[in-house]
Structure 1
Amino acid sequence: MNIPFNKPYLTGKETHYIYQAVNSGKLSGNGMFTKKCQQFFQEKYGFRKCLLTTSCTDALEMAAMLLDIQPGDEVIMPSYTFVSTANAFVLRGARIVFADSSADNPNLNADRLEELITPRTKAIVPVHYAGIACDMDKIMALADKYGLFVVEDAAQAIDSYYKGRPLGGIGHLAAFSFHETKNIIAGEGGMLVVNDPRFEKRAEIIWEKGTNRTAFFRGEVDKYGWVDVGSSFLPSEVVAAFLYAQLEHLEQIQEKRCQLWKHYELALSPLAAAGKLRLPHIPEFATNNAHMFYVVCHSPAEQEALIAYLKERGVLAVFHYLSLHKSPFYTEKHDGRILPWSDFYSERLVRLPLYYELADDHLSTISREILSFFSTSDRI
Structure 2
Amino acid sequence: MFNIPFNRPHVTGREVQYIAEACDRGHLSGDGPFTGRCQRWLEEATGATRALLTTSGTSALEMTAILADIGPGDEVIMPSYTFSSSANAFVLRGGVPVFIDIRPDTMNMDEALIEAAVTPRTRAIMVMHYAGVPCDMEPIMAVAERHNLVVIEDAAQGLLSSYRGRPVGGIGHMAAFSFHETKNIIAGEGGAILINDPRVVQRAEIIREKGTNRTAFHRGETDKYTWVDLGSSFLPSEIIAAFLWAQLEGAKEITARRLALWNRYHERFAPLEAAGLARRPIRPDDTVSNGHIYYLLLPSREKRDALIASLRAVGIMAVFHYIPLHSAPAGTRFGRANGAMTHTDDLSHRLVRLPLWVDLGDRLDEVAGHVLRILGAGDAS
- Give the TM-score, by structure 2 length: 0.97
**Residue number in structure 1 paired with 2:20:** 19
What does 1:252-331 align with in structure 2 at a 5 Å threshold? 252-331=253-332
Asked whether the 8 Å contact 2:55–2:234 carries over to 1, the reply is: yes
Paired residue for 2:361? Answer: 359
Aligned-residue offset at 1:345: 2.3
Q: Which amino acid aligns with 1:35?
A: G
What is the CA distance between 1:45 and its match in structure 2? 2.5
The letter of the residue matching 1:163 is R
Structure 1 CA distance for aligned equivalents of residues 80 and 344 of structure 2 = 6
User: Could you tell me how far 1:338 is from its partner in structure 2?
Assistant: 3.1
Which whole-Å deviations, capped at 9, do the CAs of 1:282-318 have from their partners, x for residues lacking one?
1122111100100001111111101001001110000
The answer on 1:341 being equivalent to 2:339 is no
CA distance in 1 between partners of 2:199 and 2:273 (Å): 47
Identity rate, percent: 54
Aligned residues: 376
Indicate conservation of the 8 Å contact 2:144/2:151, yes or no: yes
CA shift, 1:344, in A, is: 1.6
Superposed counterparts of 1:151-230, under 5 Å: 151-230=152-231
Provide the C-alpha distance between the structure 1 equivalents of 2:178 and 2:296, rounded to a whole number of angstroms.
23
Unpaired runs of 5+ in structure 2? Answer: none
Q: How far did residue 376 of structure 1 move?
A: 7.3
Deviation string, structure 1 residues 71-109 (Cα, Å, up to 9, x no partner): 010000000000000000000001110011112121000
**Further displaced range: 87-96 or 250-259:** 250-259
In structure 2, the partner of 1:104 is: 105
Q: Tell me how far 1:273 sits from its aligned partner.
A: 1.3
Offset of 1:120 from its aligned partner?
Answer: 0.6
CA deviations over 1:154-194 (Å, ceiling 9, x no partner):
00000000000000000000000000000000000000000
Alpha-carbon shift at residue 334 of structure 1 (Å):
4.5
1:115-134 residue pairs with structure 2 within 5 A?
A: 115-134=116-135
| Aligned position for 2:375 | 374
1:28-53 CA-to-partner distances (Å, cap 9, x unmatched) read 00111100100111123321100000
Amino acid at match of 1:55: S
Give the secondary-structure state (helix, strand or coil) at the position aligned to 2:331.
Answer: coil
CA distance in 2, matches of 1:191, 1:139: 22
What one-letter code is carried by the residue in structure 2 that aligns with 1:359? G
Answer yes or no: is the 8 Å Cα contact 2:50–2:196 preserved in 1.
yes
- For 2:370 and 2:10, locate their aligned partners in 1 and report how far apart those are by CA, in whole Å: 25
CA 332–192 in structure 1, closer or farther in 2 if over 3 Å, else same: closer
**Aligned residue type for 2:324:** S
The farther-off stretch of 321-330 and 235-244 is: 321-330
- Partners of 2:139 and 2:46 lie apart in 1 by 22
Contact 2:91 2:334 in 1 (8 A): no
Contact 2:104 2:347 in 1 (8 A): no
Q: 1:285 is aligned with what amino acid?
A: D
CA drift at 1:333: 4.6
Name the SS for the 2:352 alignment partner. Answer: strand
Q: Superposed, which structure 2 residues align to 1:85-96 within 5 Å?
A: 85-96=86-97
How far off is 1:343 after superposition?
1.2
What is aligned with 1:6?
A: 7
Whole-angstrom CA distance in 2 between matches of 1:313 and 1:359: 18
Distance verdict in 2 for CA 1:10–1:335, change over 3 Å:
closer
> Please, which moves more after superposition, 51-60 or 367-376?
367-376
Q: Is the 8 A contact 2:106 2:133 kept in 1?
A: no
Distance between the aligned counterparts of 1:340 and 1:333, measured in 2? 21
SS in 1 for 2:288: coil
Residue 369 of structure 1 aligns with an amino acid whose one-letter code is: H
Give CA deviations for 1:91-140 in whole Å, capped at 9, x if unaligned: 00011100111121210000111110011100000100001010100100
Moved more, 281-290 or 169-178: 281-290
In 2: Cα distance, 1:207 partner to 1:334 partner = 27
Give the AA of the match of 2:360. L
Aligned Cα root-mean-square deviation (Å)? 1.1
Deviation of the 1:22 alpha carbon: 1.0
Residue 325 of structure 1: CA displacement?
Answer: 0.4
Residue deviations 1:11-33, cap 9 Å, x none?
00000000011111110001111
- Corresponding residue SS for 1:36: helix
1:143 equivalent in structure 2: 144
Distance 1:102 1:214 in 2: 42
Whole-angstrom CA distance in 2 between matches of 1:215 and 1:73: 31
Return the offset for 1:209.
Answer: 0.4
Larger deviation: 334-343 or 273-282? 334-343
TM-score (norm 1): 0.97
| AA in 2 matched with 1:63 | T
What aligned pairs does 1:78-89 form with structure 2 within 5 A after superposition? 78-89=79-90
CA contact (8 A) 2:272 2:377 kept: no
Q: Secondary structure at the match of 1:113?
A: helix
CA–CA separation in structure 2 for the residues paired with 1:334 and 1:183:
30
**Does structure 1 conserve the Cα–Cα contact (< 8 Å) formed by 2:212 and 2:231?**
yes
Aligned counterparts of 1:22 and 1:345: Cα–Cα separation in 2: 48
